[in-house]
Amino acid sequence: MTDARLRKAVLVLGLAGLGIASCLTYVHYAHVKSLCEIAHGCERVQKSEWSELAGVPVALLGLIGYAGILASLWIPGETGLIAGAAQALVGFGFSAYLTTREIWSIHAICIWCVGSAIVLTLLAIVTTIRLVSAPPGSHMAAT
């Protein structure tokens, strides 16, 4: 797969994640119910003790993370590739942790969180492929 296609995949996935995280952040601060059809799991998850980290909503952390991954597309060379992959891999790991909390601690599943976890999994894969397939020492400009 060419770098142009991989960049486009990161852009599309990043925008999807940004949309999900924006909705969840809005739900958190507006104190409204999210649209969730699976046994109202979203509300239980959003009100759980794991919905915040050091007082910051994890949805907001996701929003910042997705924005960072998208921003990395405009950082030229290996720095942008490393930044994108590192953020996606950290996001994937944190999302995996939160998913285990949903299952084992909260006993509820938030479909929006699952959607974000899927997006982060795909972003981790695509950004890692971009990083490892780039020529060593490449200084390709972001296009």
pLDDT in tens, the chain (143 residues): 789 999 999 999 999 999 999 999 999 999 887 777 655 688 889 889 999 999 999 999 999 999 999 999 999 999 999 999 999 999 999 999 999 999 999 999 999 999 999 999 999 999 999 999 988 765 444 44
Domain ranges of the chain: 3-133
User: What confidence score (pLDDT) does residue 39 get?
Assistant: 58
User: What confidence score (pLDDT) does residue 124 get?
Assistant: 98
Give residues with Cβ within 8 angstroms of 72, minimum separation 6.
80, 81, 83, 84, 87, 127
The CATH number corresponding to 3-133 among 1.20.1440.130, 3.20.20.70, 1.10.10.10, 3.40.50.720 equals 1.20.1440.130
User: What confidence score (pLDDT) does residue 139 get?
Assistant: 47
140: its two tokens = 């390709």
User: What confidence score (pLDDT) does residue 49 get?
Assistant: 93
User: What confidence score (pLDDT) does residue 71 get?
Assistant: 98
User: What confidence score (pLDDT) does residue 141 get?
Assistant: 47
DSSP readout, the chain? --HHHHHHHHHHHHHHHHHHHHHHHHHHHHT------STTHHHHHHTSGGGEETTEEHHHHHHHHHHHHHHHTTS-HHHHHHHHHHHHHHHHHHHHHHHHHIIIII----HHHHHHHHHHHHHHHHHHHHHHHSPTT--PPP-
Number of Cβ within a 10 Å radius of residue 141 = 8
User: What confidence score (pLDDT) does residue 32 get?
Assistant: 85
Give residue 68's identity as a one-letter amino acid code: G
User: What confidence score (pLDDT) does residue 20 get?
Assistant: 96
